């Protein structure tokens, strides 16, 4: 199927060749999306083919992104693909989390099982592959941590030079460590995410570096696979709700696009409602949906869930369309709610990073408000691995976790380590024997 870069703005819809190096519409400045033209594929045949590929040892078939390549057919040559066997992430039942949130049952699709520990890998395999197709040598991104970790890995694996710009002092060490280990030229900038995104867009153009932020439409194509794989794992039965955290809103855009395409091609018979959850101190999309006035950014976003500490999300126009089209909602949650929900996900033996736990915290509020019914079929997407931010975990469990406003977060489900002497009797007493 021919792929075309198309302006997302309804009043423009200008088209550009798929190999043009642009990130926004040169005519109107709108966001771009990849649109496919040509005959619709046979959905039943593809469902069978994708199942068969699970038995295959070919790298593209083993990838939980490229297995579904018929729905992301923007590359002309598979030799350009950079894959670390991303995707293939499980859907896990979590009864204790269901009880906590007021649902009869809940399932987590855990993107933290990816090669670099976050959902960014689903998109980065596509972004890095497109960079190779375009013959780029250097790639760059600004990141709250996960995008940079993922980009560093995929660029290095694909023979490209990764350049990472991060807000100084505002990303977790786990993520910074990954960027360094995967060989990224790493610049810690004394500015916040939104300011650095403006910088990196100028630098990419000036220095001929390929930009791999989620404004890059090819990353969005890859992130569609999270939803495609989810439906495949559920034997193509759509849930009532898909819940995800919202930061720059690239993932919300990708999920909505995937759902619209799956529905229009006959893979699913209805579109689940999207629930996007933001942290209270970084909730411009929540505010916008609640007020329904002009979109206003949050100048000084604040949250310990640093992955979603974003005040001026670039993809909000796409996210608006997708949330509206799905009959979805946007919720916001406090630092305390995120921290407690995260501990519950940990107690299920699953675990995730703080931003991911915003989902469960948001579901709890939405069920309490009657927006999500107790017997609804809900899949929450955990976006990042528990080991991304161990410092946060230790502080929570030891009662030392401080909100951005300086207040202490209650260690509601705390699990403090106990210091014991080198003495069997003393240890037995502690263990209650």
| Contact footprint for ligand F0G (CB under 6 A) | 118, 120, 143-147, 214, 245-252, 307-308, 353, 355-356, 383-384
We find the least distance from the C-beta atom of residue 27 to ligand F0G, in angstroms, to be: 26
Q: How far apart are CA 36 and CA 71, in angstroms?
A: 9
Nearer to ligand F0G, 89 or 147 (CB): 147
d(CA 256, CA 289) in angstroms, rounded, equals 17
Nearer Cβ to ligand F0G, position 101 or 118?
Answer: 118
Q: How far is the CB of 259 from ligand F0G (least distance, A)?
A: 15
Residue 13: C-alpha distances to residues 21, 35, 37, 41 (Å): 17, 11, 14, 24
Q: Which is nearer to ligand F0G, 136 or 382 (CB)?
A: 382
List residues bridging with 36 in a β-sheet. Answer: 3
* Dihedral pair phi/psi, residue 337, rounded to 5°: -65, -40
| Least distance (Å) between residue 48 CB and ligand F0G | 32
C-beta separation of 243 from 275 below 8 A:
yes
| Percent of residues in the chain assigned helix, strand, coil, to nearest 5 | 45, 15, 40
Give the orientation angle of helix 250-264 with respect to helix 316-325, to 10 degrees: 40
Q: Which is nearer to ligand F0G, 281 or 384 (CB)?
A: 384
When the beta carbons of 133 and 362 are compared against ligand F0G, the nearer one is 362
243: helix, strand or coil: strand
Shortest spacing between CB 122 and ligand F0G, in angstroms: 11
**Between 130 and 248, CB nearer to ligand F0G:** 248
In whole angstroms, the minimum distance from the beta carbon of 425 to ligand F0G comes to 45
Q: How is residue 119 annotated by DSSP?
A: T
Nearest to 178 by CA among 127, 120, 108: 120
Q: How many residues does the chain have?
A: 433
CB of 111 to ligand F0G, least distance (A): 8
Tokens coding 430: 């502690």
- Whichever of 8 and 50 has its CB closer to ligand F0G, that residue is 8
Residues in Cβ contact with 99 at an 8 Å cutoff, skipping those fewer than 6 apart: none
Q: Which is nearer to ligand F0G, 200 or 409 (CB)?
A: 200
Least Cβ distance, residue 33 to ligand F0G (angstroms): 15
Shortest gap between Cβ of 78 and ligand F0G (angstroms)? 26
Structure token pair of residue 86? 């991303």
**Which secondary-structure segment (H or E) carries 330?**
strand 329-333
């Amino acid at each position: 199927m021919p792929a075309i870069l198309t302006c997302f703005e309804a009043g423009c819809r200008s088209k550009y060749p798929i190999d043009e190096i642009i990130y926004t519409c040169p005519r109107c400045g709108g966001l771009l999306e990849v649109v496919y033209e040509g005959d619709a594929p046979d959905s039943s045949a593809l469902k069978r083919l994708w199942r068969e590929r699970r038995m295959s040892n070919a790298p593209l078939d083993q990838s939980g992104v490229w297995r579904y390549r018929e729905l992301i057919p923007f590359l002309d040559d598979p030799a350009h693909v950079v894959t670390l066997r991303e995707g293939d992430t499980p859907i896990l039942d979590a009864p204790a989390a269901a009880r906590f949130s007021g649902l009869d049952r809940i399932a987590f699709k855990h993107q933290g099982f990816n090669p670099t520990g976050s959902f960014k890998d689903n998109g980065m395999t596509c972004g890095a592959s497109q960079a190779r197709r375009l013959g780029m040598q250097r790639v760059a991104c600004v990141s709250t941590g996960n995008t940079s970790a993922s980009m560093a890995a995929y660029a290095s694996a694909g023979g490209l030079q990764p350049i990472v710009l991060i807000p100084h002092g505002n990303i977790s060490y786990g993520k910074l460590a990954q960027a360094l280990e995967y060989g990224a030229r790493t610049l810690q900038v004394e500015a916040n995410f939104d300011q650095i995104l403006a910088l990196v867009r100028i630098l990419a153009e000036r220095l001929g570096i390929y930009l791999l932020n989620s404004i890059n439409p090819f990353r969005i194509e890859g992130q569609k696979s999270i939803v495609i794989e989810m439906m495949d794992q559920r034997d193509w039965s759509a849930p009532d709700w898909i819940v995800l955290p919202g930061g720059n809103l690239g993932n919300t855009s990708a999920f909505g696009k995937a759902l619209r395409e799956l529905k229009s091609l006959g893979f699913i018979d209805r579109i689940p409602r999207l629930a996007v959850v933001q942290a209270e101190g970084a909730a411009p999309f929540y505010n916008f949906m609640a007020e329904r006035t002009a979109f206003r950014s949050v100048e000084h976003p604040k949250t310990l869930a640093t992955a979603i500490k974003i005040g001026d999300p670039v993809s909000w126009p796409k996210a608006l369309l997708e949330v509206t089209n799905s009959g979805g909602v946007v919720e916001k949650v406090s630092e305390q709610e995120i921290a407690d929900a995260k501990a519950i996900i940990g107690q299920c033996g699953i675990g995730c990073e703080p931003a991911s736990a915003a989902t469960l915290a948001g579901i709890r509020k939405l069920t309490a408000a009657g927006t999500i019914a107790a017997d609804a079929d809900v899949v929450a997407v955990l976006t990042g691995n528990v080991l991304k931010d161990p410092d946060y975990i230790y502080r929570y469990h030891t009662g030392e976790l401080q909100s951005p406003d300086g207040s202490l977060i209650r260690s509601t489900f705390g699990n403090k380590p106990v210091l014991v002497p080198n003495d069997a009797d003393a240890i037995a007493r502690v263990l209650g024997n």
